[in-house]
Chains A and B, each alone.
Chain A
Amino acid sequence: MSPARVPARTLARVFWRCLFLQAAWNRRGMQNLGFAYAIEPALAVLYPEPARRREALERHLQFFNCHPFMAAAIVGGAIHHEERVAAGEEPASAPIRYKATLQGPLAALGDGFFWTALRPFCGALGAAGALVIGVPAVVAAIVLYDVIHFSLRLGLFRAAYRGGDAVIPVIARLGLPLAAERLRAAGVALCGVAAAIVVLRGAGAAGAAAGIVAALAAGAGYAALARGARLLPTAYVAALAGIAAAVAGHLHWSS
């Protein structure tokens, strides 16, 4: 008789393995191998008979792709459903349907909150802070980012394991789209502060010409952000900033 519940120790192992979700990313199944690897300890507990365990592992090898942080909620919820499948309360399709239904919407939430809001905000915070207090600001920004994303991952994993489908109202209460909007605005403001510091210092250290170059670089960066989609033009912005820095450096050494 298989136990109806996955012990806390095994859940901890699954959560640890969730951190490597993208390690075997591939074009055919995307995160399918990472998902199967993550959930495997729980399946081993729920299905002691080799045939059923193999069957369970195989269904988790189907295509899967989500935001790597938000995916923790799907792994937790999949175990919630697998416990009921093992107990004969739900059909084997229940965990698969849960994964297939939530992977898209949660990916959208994760992209919007983590990739296009929290990460740029922490980056801007580190950049502006570095201009004022130096390297410790960069470390603090990275720690801030990690604390937020790691605690969200852990919280979502637990909420989804306990509640299954009830994780959706939990995520709704987090208000991620609104938080993302505010973080983006705050990040933009921080970039403005950083740009102003650079312009003032440039003008102070190497004359008005360097200040103008720094102001132009900030303007170009703003224009690139304002024009393009949010995900991709960062490479262009980085290239422009690099060129502007080279020009500013040249002006500085020749002045």
Chain B
Amino acid sequence: MISLVRVDNRLLHGQVLETWLPRLGVKEVVVADDEAASSGLARAAMTLCVPPELPVRIEPLRAIDFGALAASGWPVLVLVRDVAQLAEARAAGLTPAQAPRLNVGNVHFGPGRRCVTPSVFLSEDEIRTLRELTAAGFEVEARSVPTEAPAGIEEIERRYAAAR
């Protein structure tokens, strides 16, 4: 089963390994990222930083079989780099039944992006994508670590409107 699909600009790092993995009891991590999959350095570094008993797969987004991940008997965490990749994953066949929760963990500041949580900056396009995913039946939340209060889509939109 897919416990969580997480958007994180830094993909695999301390927050994921030290907080989400133990909280969700994750037994496999899938990094769905074209750039990381094509980089030997990224593959070596990511494999190095996880405990030896935890399998990590680094594959291009299009190569991921979400149905098979959802059907696996253990909790899987899927990492993507940007909000746009959530829409791509949905286009590639990801359904709310396979992965009900979409977490927006870390999106760095950039042109056109406004502050939604201390670690998440989103553009209008990205908020529209999240709204569409919510309408499609996914549960969307923004927070970096499990102990932070999650911000749902309404809260995300409210904060975006309030931010300059």
Which residues from chain A sit less than 8 Å from chain B, CB to CB?
27-29, 63, 65, 67, 97-98, 101-112, 115-116, 165, 168-169, 171-172, 177-178, 181, 229-232
Contact = CB atoms under 8 A, between A and B. Distances in A.
Interface of B: 8-14, 16-19, 22-23, 36, 39, 41-42, 44-46, 48-52, 108-109, 115, 118-119, 121, 145-147
Contacts of B14: 67, 107-108, 110-112, 115
Contact of A168 (B16, B23, B44): B44
Given A27-B119, A231-B145, 15 more contacts: A28-B121, A29-B108, A63-B108, A67-B14, A106-B49, A108-B12, A108-B18, A108-B50, A109-B49, A171-B48, A181-B51, A229-B147, A231-B19, A232-B145, A232-B147
A177 B42 CA distance: 18
Given A65-B10, A98-B41, A106-B49, A229 B108 contact: no
A230 B10 contact: no
A111 B49 CA distance: 10
B102 to A, nearest CB: 20
B17 A112 contact: yes
Contacts of A27: 109, 115, 118-119
Contacts, number: 95
A229 B23 CA distance: 7
Given A168-B48, A171-B48, A104 B13 contact: yes
Given A27-B109, A102-B45, A229-B23, A108 B146 contact: no
Among B39, B49, B121, B147, max chain A CB count under 10 A is at B49
Nearest to B21: A229
A165 B41 contact: yes
A232 B18 CA distance: 10
Nearest to A181: B51
Nearest to A231: B18
Contacts of B10: 65, 103-104, 107
> Which 9 A-B pairs rank lowest in CB-CB distance, beginning with the nearest?
A111-B14, A105-B45, A104-B13, A104-B10, A28-B109, A105-B49, A108-B49, A107-B13, A63-B108
A64 to B, nearest CB: 10
Contacts of A178: 52
B109 A105 contact: no
Given A27-B109, A102-B45, A105-B48, A230 B13 contact: no
